[in-house]
Amino acid sequence: MENYGTAHLLALGVFVVGVPLAVLLGRWELRRVTWTISRVAAVAIPLVHVPTQIVDIATRFEIGVSLPLHLSDLAWIAAAVALWTHHRYAVALTYFWGLVLTTQAIVTPSLGEDFPDLRFFAYWFIHLMIPWAAVFLVWGLRLTPDWRDYRFTLAATGVWAVVAYVFNEIADTNYGYLQRKPSNGSFLDLLGPWPVYVLAEIVIVAVVWALMTCPWVRRATRDRRARLTS
Peptide linkage before 109 cis (omega within 30 of 0): no
The pLDDT of 76-95, averaged and rounded, is 96
Element (H, E) at 181: none
Q: How far apart are alpha carbons 132 and 19 in whole angstroms?
A: 6
126 CB-near residues (< 8 Å, 6+ apart): 45, 49, 72, 76
Q: Is residue 1 part of a domain?
A: no
Q: How far apart are alpha carbons 200 and 187 in whole angstroms?
A: 11
The pLDDT score that the predictor gives to residue 205 is 94
Q: How far apart are alpha carbons 44 and 9 in whole angstroms?
A: 24
* Count of C-beta atoms within a 10 Å radius of residue 20: 11
137 CB-near residues (< 8 Å, 6+ apart): 26, 38, 82, 83, 86, 91, 94, 95, 143
pLDDT per residue as tens digits for the range 55-64? 888 888 889 8
Peptide linkage before 131 cis (omega within 30 of 0): no
Q: Is residue 162 part of a domain?
A: yes
Number of domains in the chain: 1
Q: What angle do CA 111, 115, 117 make, to 5 degrees?
A: 75
Banded model confidence at residue 65, pLDDT cuts 50, 70, 90: confident
pLDDT per residue as tens digits for the range 170-197? 999 999 889 988 776 677 778 888 899 9
Which range is least confidently modeled, 120-129, 159-168, 200-209?
Answer: 120-129
Query: Would you say 137 and 80 are in contact if contact means Cβ atoms under 8 Å apart?
Result: no
Q: Is residue 145 part of a domain?
A: yes
| CA dihedral over 28, 31, 33, 34, signed as positive or negative | positive
Choice between 119 and 209, residue whose per-residue pLDDT is larger: 209
**Domain extent at residue 192:** 6-229
Banded model confidence at residue 168, pLDDT cuts 50, 70, 90: very high
pLDDT above 70 covers what percent of the chain? 98
* Count of C-beta atoms within a 10 Å radius of residue 106: 18
- Indicate the pTM of the whole model: 0.90
